[in-house]
Structure 1
Amino acid sequence: MNAAIQSKISYSDTLKARKAHLSGLINLVKPKSGKTTKIETMTIAAIKAEISVIEQQLAKRS
């Protein structure tokens, strides 16, 4: 019987990867022209809030 493969990635590494992913999403969502829609503004605000939470969690761990 084969043993299940377990991930050795730490929670801090997971948070860092998640933060990098969200930062990339912000770059995709940012409008290229000067006009922004409400949806874009709200999406960017939500992503920035999530990044802030991740940074707080990382600060607690270090």
Structure 2
Amino acid sequence: MNKQPQNSASWSDTLKIRKAHLNALLKTIDARPGKTSQIQTLTINAIKAEMAHIESQLNRRK
């Protein structure tokens, strides 16, 4: 296995940063009801699923 450098962020911190990044992406996507394309809808659903997965990983680490 590869060792992480000592000054690297913890796995929980990495997950929190990833979740914040995904949140920012959701805000970037202009998702008005009735005005979203199919690709936007799929993208939003994929981001939300990834965020739910990250949240479950964070809850497991508590």
TM-score normalised by length of structure 2: 0.83
Tell me the percent identity. 52
Give unpaired runs (5+ residues) of structure 1: none
User: RMSD over aligned Cα, in angstroms?
Assistant: 1.8
Tell me the CA shift for residue 31 of structure 1. 2.8
**Consecutive aligned runs of 4 or more in structure 1 exceeding 2 Å deviation:** 5-8, 30-34
Give unpaired runs (5+ residues) of structure 2: none
Task: Point out the structure with max Rg over C-alpha.
Answer: 1
What are the superposed Cα offsets for residues 4-57 of structure 1, whole Å, 9 maximum, x if unpaired? Answer: x64331000000000000000000113357411000000000000000000000
Matched positions, count: 58
Residue type of the alignment partner of 1:52: A
TM-score normalised by length of structure 1: 0.83
Partner of 2:9: 9
